[in-house]
Amino acid sequence: MTLIKWSEEAGQVRLALPSDLDLAMAQPLVDSLRHGLGTSNDVAVQADAVERVSTACVQALLAASRHAGQSGQSFIIAKPSEALAEACDDLGLSAWLKQWSQP
């Protein structure tokens, strides 16, 4: 299983998501997002490799974006994949993804 890749550059934390964000990846994703938001005021989630995503992982991203917004932190979902966009569309979260994503 490919894990979430973590990097820090110029004060920004970047989390590169694996291709498979199934239910088993929900807790590692939550942990990575919490750590990222606790470490930096600027967090970017690289989502172009995502090929499959569970509702629980979408919920984790949603919760992280809300936390960042309430805390005044910068949070983006960079290059969301088609699979992530479709999952968000199915869940009625297309507007949310558009608000927090960056091509």
Q: What's the chain's Rg over C-alpha atoms? A: 12
CB atoms within 10 A of CB 100: 20
Residue 2 buriedness (CB in 10 A; 0-12 / 13-18 / 19+): exposed
Q: Give pLDDT tens digits for 1-55.
A: 458 999 998 889 999 999 999 999 999 999 999 999 999 999 999 999 999 999 9
Enter the pTM of the model: 0.93
Class of domain 5-102: alpha beta
Q: Give pLDDT tens digits for 44-53.
A: 999 999 999 9
Tell me the pLDDT band of 103, cut-offs 50, 70 and 90: confident
What is the reported pLDDT for 4? 94
Structure tokens belonging to residue 49: 């490799």
Q: Where are the domains of the chain?
A: 5-102
